[in-house]
Every structure is written in structure tokens, then in C-alpha cells.
């Protein structure tokens, strides 16, 4: 479900350029609205047929038996096995594990007309506290092949709801030329505002981060995994200081999106 949920979004928010003599416009706690103002245009593609499951747009792609048993996968820092259980011709369940421990569970149900998919999830793959939980919806773009499970085909992110608060809040503080970020799921870093790399803690998929000032109301964060850029986040605070627009470039999946966060 990382393709729909966007686990990188949950940890990759805000920072800022700052003045030591006054409170910075980015300082404080912000709450993210996970229903994007501009969702990714690139759809997610799945195929469940003949006892096999494929997530073609996952990074890396998933291709495993759909027999309800743990199947080994490689190349994903968040899990090393995937289990796909077919509940019925419109419902499937996915369980991801890391070192034998369950990190993500997802149940996906396709509507009778085949045009809408709803999902419920619990995700602790990138949290050092309580799991992130919630529900969401996707709409069909392209049907799957004849005889395939209803989940097969292309899907576009629709909306999220009932998301746990730990996925939505992030706090940061600017002290001179340094930004400190933290959130309820245990991610955090302290980075200079000059674009130099600093360690990113608490997320197995992000190893370093750099932050640079664009203006008094805008900053840009670049996340890396083992030296490779995986995401760029440009945050701009509104003139009234109450909302922030986050423009996201997902380098792994080749998508862009835009979200809004509110000052708490």
C-alpha cells in the first residue's frame, strides 16, 4: 500500500530558513491534509491472476505467489516478505513482514461495479511508536485482463480518511542556521539550512536529508537513500502564516503531487 499511501509523505515534511532573533514562520506543529490538492497523475498498476500477484508500480516491483504464505522479496528497506491472501473475487489482504515481524497489513475491497477500491491499513514499517492506521479509496482507470481478480488493472488515488494523528503531525524548530524536525512516529533530524547532508533518523528508507532556504517563506528538503535522491519537498507558507503548501516530487515512482498543512 505504499504506492497509495505514500509512506514518504508521512515523514518528509517541513523545515525552514530562519532568523535567530524572531520566531520563524515554519516554527511549530503542522497538521497535514492527506487528501491532496493535486494527487499523483500516474496510476498504480496491479495484477492478480492464476495464483500470482504483481504490483507493477511498486518500487521495487512485486511479483509473488498469492497463496497466503510469506514470500521473500528483496530491495525494499521496509519489508522482506509479502503475503497475499485472496478472500474472494473482490477482496484481497496483504501482510508485509520485516525480520519475521508484521509491519503492514492492508485489506482491499473492490466495489461490485468494479470502479472503486477501498482499503484499510495498519502500517508500522516506518514508525518507532504506534502504527499509522486509516482508510482510503482509489478509482479505476483501466480494467484488468479477462478472468483476473477485480483488483487487477490501473488505479488512481482518490481520498484518505480516518488517518491516525501520528501520521499527520510534524514539529520543527529553527535555531539560527539549523533546523530540527520531529514527529510522533519517531522520525527526525537536525540539519543545517545550507543544503549539506545530515543523518535522517527513524526511517529505514531514508538515510540522509538536506535542507536549503529558498526565501523567507519557502524551503526545499531533499531526502536520500544511500546517497540517491528519492524525494524532493518544497514547502511554502501562506502570507497569513496559517497554511503551508507542500509540492512533492517522488523520484522513485516518477510522480508529483501537492498537499496542504495547517498550523496548529
CA atoms within 13 A on the CB side of 150: 19
Give the residue ranges of DSSP H helices in the chain. 2-5, 7-11
Whole-angstrom distance, CA of residue 57 vs CA of residue 201: 27
Tell me the C-alpha distance between 126 and 162, whole Å. Answer: 19
Q: Grade residue 9 by pLDDT with cuts at 50, 70 and 90.
A: very low
Residue of 69, 73, 66 lying closest to 91 (CA atoms): 66
Residues 6+ apart with CB under 8 A from 146: none
Any idea where the domains of the chain sit in the sequence? Answer: 2-40+165-263, 44-161
Burial (0-12, 13-18, 19+ Cβ within 10 Å), 192: middle
Mean pLDDT for 74-98 is 97
Q: Which residues of 59-74 are buried (b: 16+ CB within 10 A; e: fewer)?
A: beebebebeeeebebe
Topology of the domain comprising 44-161: Lipocalin (2.40.128)
Q: Identify the CA nearest to 6 among candidates 50, 52, 57.
A: 57
185-201 pLDDT, tens digit each: 999 999 999 999 999 99
What is d(CA 77, CA 195) in angstroms, rounded to the nearest whole number? 25
Residue 172: per-residue pLDDT: 80
How many CB atoms within 10 Å of residue 7?
22
Q: pTM of the full predicted structure?
A: 0.86
Q: What confidence tens digit (pLDDT) does each residue in 118-143 have?
A: 999 999 988 777 899 999 999 999 99
Binned at pLDDT 50, 70 and 90, residue 161 comes out as confident
From the number of C-beta atoms within 10 Å of its C-beta (0-12, 13-18, 19+), residue 138 rates as buried
Same fold, 2-40+165-263 and 44-161: yes
> Could you give the CA distance from residue 182 to residue 29 in angstroms, rounded to a whole number?
9
Q: Largest alpha-carbon pair distance within the chain? A: 66
Q: Span 67-94, mean pLDDT?
A: 97
| Cis status of the peptide bond prior to 144, with omega within 30 of 0 | no
Which pLDDT tens digit goes with each residue over 37-63? Answer: 788 889 999 999 999 999 999 999 999
- Asked if residue 97 has pLDDT above 60, the reply is yes
Q: 2-40+165-263 belongs to which CATH class? A: mainly beta
Q: What is the pLDDT of residue 128?
A: 75
Cα gap 166→187, rounded to integer Å: 11
Amino acid at each position: 500500500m505504499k504506492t497509495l499511501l505514500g509512506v514518504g509523505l508521512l515523514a518528509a515534511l517541513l523545515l525552514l530558513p530562519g532568523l535567530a532573533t524572531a520566531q520563524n514562520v515554519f516554527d511549530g506543529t503542522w497538521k497535514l491534509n492527506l487528501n491532496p490538492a493535486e494527487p499523483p497523475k500516474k496510476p498504480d498498476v496491479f495484477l492478480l491472476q492464476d495464483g500470482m500477484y504483481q504490483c507493477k508500480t511498486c518500487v521495487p516491483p512485486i511479483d509473488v505467489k498469492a497463496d497466503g504464505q510469506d514470500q521473500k522479496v528483496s530491495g525494499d528497506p521496509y519489508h522482506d516478505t509479502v503475503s497475499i491472501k485472496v478472500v474472494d473475487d473482490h477482496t484481497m489482504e496483504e501482510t508485509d513482514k520485516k525480520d519475521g515481524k508484521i509491519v503492514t497489513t492492508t485489506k482491499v475491497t473492490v466495489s461490485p461495479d468494479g470502479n472503486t477500491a477501498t482499503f484499510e491499513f495498519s502500517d508500522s514499517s516506518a514508525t518507532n511508536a504506534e502504527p499509522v492506521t486509516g482508510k482510503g479509496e482509489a478509482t479505476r482507470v483501466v480494467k484488468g485482463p479477462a478472468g483476473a481478480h477485480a483488483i487487477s488493472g490501473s488505479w488512481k488515488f482518490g481520498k484518505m480518511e480516518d488517518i491516525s494523528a501520528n501520521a499527520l503531525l510534524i514539529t520543527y524548530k529553527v535555531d539560527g542556521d539549523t533546523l530540527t524536525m520531529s514527529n510522533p512516529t519517531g522520525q527526525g533530524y537536525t540539519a543545517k539550512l545550507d543544503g549539506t547532508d545530515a543523518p535522517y533518523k527513524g526511517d529505514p528508507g531514508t538515510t540522509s536529508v538536506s535542507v536549503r532556504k529558498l526565501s523567507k517563506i519557502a524551503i526545499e528538503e531533499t531526502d536520500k537513500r544511500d546517497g540517491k535522491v528519492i524525494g524532493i519537498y518544497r514547502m511554502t507558507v501562506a502570507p497569513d502564516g496559517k497554511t503551508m503548501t507542500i509540492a512533492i516530487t517522488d523520484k522513485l515512482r516518477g510522480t508529483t503531487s501537492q498537499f496542504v498543512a495547517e498550523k496548529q
